[in-house]
Amino acid sequence: MIDQRVLPVSFEYLACDSAASVAQAIHDMVVRGAPAIGVAAAYGVALEAMRLHDMPTENFSKDLESGFTILAQSRPTAVNLFWALERMRRVWSSVVKQEQAFVAQHLLAEAHEILAEDIRINRIIGEYGAALLPDEARVLTHCNAGALATAGHGTALGIIRSAHEAGKRISVIADETRPFLQGARLTAWEMMQERIPVTLITDSMAGFMMSHGEIDAVIVGADRVASNGDVANKIGTYMVAVLARRHNIPFYVACPLSTIDMTLPTGDGIPIEERPDSEVKGYNGMHWVPEGVAIRNPAFDVTPAELVTALVTERGVVYQPDKKRLHALWPSTLR
Ligand code: MRU
């Protein structure tokens, strides 16, 4: 996988060959972004099965089960991780009596399918979302919900890519996204790779830009959406949503159905990851705070559904999301 920790200074790959090494990579943010974490976890399971396939049966099952556990513990907020593991578990159950090599091949095929499906879904989200944007639009985004955060194309940046491909004159305002700088390092880089005009601002400049009429729409991704439409996304998203409402700017959330957690009544139940102090103290080993100062580092916040203009999913655009509208996204046979 691409090592996202070192972008854009260098472009490096990190090889993983087991569930433990993939879990470590997810934990360490080598790979990040909700759908990408899900895809990585699926490959983690497949790699583990391939690694264990010639072991005695009891060891194979026990060790593969441990692989699921270690992957599930890698990060708590993005529900795509648990969604992907659940899907891999269903596949395992369906072939559990077969030869282990066959089980491993089956799990690998499912991981490939999850990856391909994510790209297909992002393209559809892109089409739906692009239709919401005027022919010329300045779009603010927070964090990185691009190709790097998914299997390809992206969710929020997928909409921007699709609109750009459709000939719309889109420019991007990227929040730098303190403290991990996904906007500054990754979104800015992705947009520059494709020559989509991008301007980087610090997070605290969003209100200035909006009050000066320099933003036409906000599009962000999501890590977990509760059944009432509350959205957990990168820390700072809530602040942007409040500002957007104050300035009458549409606030769109691009997310695949795999990011919607219908088991949670509201966003209050979404586990919020607290990350190390070191990320707030400075960057890359350099510290700029007084030694010993108390630090908080919640990595996500929850934007209440009432601030969300619409969710853009592969099954269409859901305006003013609520329980009833989200429920209707699933065909009655799958509910
Ligand atoms: O901590 P990260 O970088 O994994 O957080 C990522 C985000 O918050 C993204 O906006 C979200 O996962 C959507 S990615 C399509």
Nearest atom of ligand 1 to the alpha carbon of 182: 3
Residue 67 and residue 91 in one domain: yes
Quick one: pLDDT at residue 335? 57
Residue 212 and residue 85 in one domain: no
pLDDT-based confidence at residue 333 (cuts at 50, 70, 90): low
Q: Which domain holds residue 224?
A: 134-334
Q: Position 208: which residue type?
A: F
Quick one: pLDDT at residue 292? 96
Contact partners, residue 160, CB within 8 Å, separation at least 6: 139, 141, 154, 170, 172, 191, 196, 219
Quick one: pLDDT at residue 331? 83
Nearest CA owner, ligand 1 atom 15: 145
Residue 114 and residue 138 in one domain: no
Nearest atom of ligand 1 to the alpha carbon of 154: 15
Q: Is residue 11 part of a domain?
A: no
CA distances from 134 to 117, 138, 188, 327 (A): 28, 9, 22, 29
Residue 327 and residue 243 in one domain: yes
The yes-or-no verdict on residue 76 having pLDDT over 80 is yes
CB-based burial label for 199 (10 Å; 0-12, 13-18, 19+): middle
Number of structural domains (the chain) is 2
CB 190 within 8 Å of CB 164: no
Tokens 């909409």, residue located: 159
Quick one: pLDDT at residue 87? 98
Q: What is the CATH number of the domain that holds 111?
A: 1.20.120.420
- Averaged pLDDT, 252-277: 98
Whole-angstrom Cα distance, residue 268 to residue 129? 27
Q: Which of 67, 93, 122 is the last residue of a domain?
A: 122
> Is there an atom of ligand 1 within 6 Å of 34 CB?
yes
Distance 34 CA to ligand 1 centre (A): 5
pLDDT tens-digit series, residues 258-270: 999 999 999 999 9
- Is 223 considered catalytic here? yes
Phi and psi (nearest 5°) for 68? -60, -45
Q: Is residue 3 part of a domain?
A: no
Distance 225 CA to ligand 1 centre (A): 13
Task: Provide the H-helix boundaries in the chain.
Answer: 19-27, 34-52, 57-72, 79-95, 100-130, 156-165, 182, 188-193, 206-211, 237-246, 278-281, 323-327
Per DSSP, what are the bridge partners of residue 313? 316
- Which among 4, 32, 160, 161 is the best mutation to test ligand 1's pocket, defined by most ligand atoms within 8 Å of the CB? 32
> Is there an atom of ligand 1 within 6 Å of 145 CB?
yes
Distance 192 CA to ligand 1 centre (A): 19
Q: Which of 97, 122, 147 is the last residue of a domain?
A: 122
- Averaged pLDDT, 173-199: 98
> Is there an atom of ligand 1 within 6 Å of 32 CB?
yes
The yes-or-no verdict on residue 148 having pLDDT over 60 is yes
- Averaged pLDDT, 130-144: 98
The yes-or-no verdict on residue 123 having pLDDT over 70 is yes
Nearest atom of ligand 1 to the alpha carbon of 234: 8
Q: What would the two tokens of residue 325 be?
A: 């509208």
Residue 138 and residue 115 in one domain: no
Whole-angstrom Cα distance, residue 32 to residue 174? 18
Quick one: pLDDT at residue 283? 87
Distance 142 CA to ligand 1 centre (A): 9
pLDDT-based confidence at residue 4 (cuts at 50, 70, 90): very high
pLDDT tens-digit series, residues 284-317: 889 999 999 999 999 999 999 999 999 999 999 9
Quick one: pLDDT at residue 109? 98
Share of the chain above pLDDT 90, in %: 97
CB 142 within 8 Å of CB 237: yes
Distance 182 CA to ligand 1 centre (A): 8
Quick one: pLDDT at residue 193? 97
Q: Is residue 8 part of a domain?
A: no
Residue 210 and residue 328 in one domain: yes
CB 230 within 8 Å of CB 305: yes
